[in-house]
Structure 1
């Protein structure tokens, strides 16, 4: 079975030596790559902008209860980073299936997204169709359990940069984005994100924040996901499986095809 445990994300902030701590979020996740998950979450929410905003990301060794050991992580923000907890519009609480919580409008999310030129990079439909199989080949935990999501970040030449699995599809994306952010790979306008599940509003938000050009899902997108992808310049693909896909937004990135032509060509 896929392992699921809570992870509490705490922030350390303020000038040295007068540091303060804030319990920011709790998410139900599959243990592993917790630092990348925490960093990806903070970046996706717009709380950090660059790797230099971070001092360290470590699990807390002093916890109140034995079951918290390994399940509490503290992110130390740089002392010079201006962080005001009062500006947070909500207390973050995410679960493995909650989707977006507390976002009042698409406009609020657009302000934090990296807008992408629609035709900065062209991709062939054959290449896009290969992404789910490339991702599936890098999912050992799914092969063992059958109950876990995955997200993979790809270059235009097909190179898989990073892949992570998690019981929560948004956690898998946060892990990928956090790893890419820490490595200096993200934000980057010519990369592709393939996810194993459906394309929700929240996943489009995270892709837009990371400046990703193409978000491809094996499942369906939601109506708000399509609207946000259109607004933020992301090419959104759904039902990418079994040799067929649908393109919902910014199809000009797909070489020589519109969304209608893609459906007709690939579906027969």
Structure 2
């Protein structure tokens, strides 16, 4: 089933000025779902899931958070944090006129979904958290991102060289996920260092005591054999959230290369959140950009 797709933008005000964020809408209606990408990845990574959800009647929005994809990329690490990203999700809902949404994310996007539920619980209808990055991921996260931060900060020519090699490759001639990898490698050294620094030394996720207070339904997906996103973190989160359903992926690639089973789980969960009664409707006045 074909669904409509529309690209939009809005602006957020910060201490360093006015920044532009870009998003894509799939489908229509008042049953909103917002999908948040992983660290350094573009919103396009969620296009297949967004289309599947929209084909079932949901109104799906994917966003490039600040420092990612086609949104602005300031070089100030102080503008990057999970809390700041959650504020951008709320600002997106305000811009769209959406009173509530199911908020989902992958990796750091899952953490941002959790932070949104803590920051603005009245705006979150449900959560989809794929491979959250919590307590058990600390060591692997340091090993993965510390060298990236050092290279971007002290050897920026390496980041620039990768960008020059990958940017000319036409995305239309390579497989979808190869294109996502190419987009992820398309970084500027100054903004890359700022994003990693801001997340590395800031708040990565709500603490356990705050996670336990989240009352909305949650679908938590964990991956085996993934040290950066250990299944133990996903299982721990599912145990903390009062209304969580835990789904174990067959591999770290299942939702990328054989998505049908997990797509069905996400569709059923999101539709169930919007079929529940006693919560606010999904539409409110759209504000200007």
TM-score (norm 1): 0.25
Higher fraction of helix: 2
Structure with the higher strand share, 1 or 2: 1
